[in-house]
Structure 1
């Protein structure tokens, strides 16, 4: 029996980097016990009146990271302008950025996910 580490069919495996290896029942030792497999995912949790499972939590964390990058880009673009409107917009974006960072920390802590600050950096 072959264990496939990709949930796609053979035709789409060109660049997925998953591996295939044989598993012989009774001869080879299992990597995880049944109990470990049952408890491998974190339990669902509630944050701001919404229930999240582990996958949804990672997706919400990515959403917050995208919002943080967006606010940083707005702040950077407003820094180039010298008008009063631009300064006011920059201040509002800075306030939103502080709130997003606080939300990012709180959500990540509640979900048990590590903060990944490299994902919030703006490179251009």
Structure 2
């Protein structure tokens, strides 16, 4: 297709390291002097970078003089400034998502712990051991 330029997508709640490059145009080859190098700027191809671990960003071709940016500066700023109310406190949207993920991880850990107790109780070969485990559970 001969398109060297790409534009990254943008969304509210991007991790801080990704917010700096979301919604921007890059040179895929790194050779276009008017645009930053795509891979160096976004970390594309690494776990921490664009399309890596838990990254919701993507990218698409951008044709200079034909394409217009999908995101205005105002929209990108709106995404970055987005907040939520939690327990009477205003917090950044990204921080709220991290709190939610921490709660989800804790729920998963508790479920695994209880599943372990349940398995031990069911596998107990004596009523006395089963009773002792039930008390702990």
TM-score w.r.t. length of structure 1: 0.49
* TM-score of the pair, normalised by structure 2: 0.46
Greater helix proportion: 1
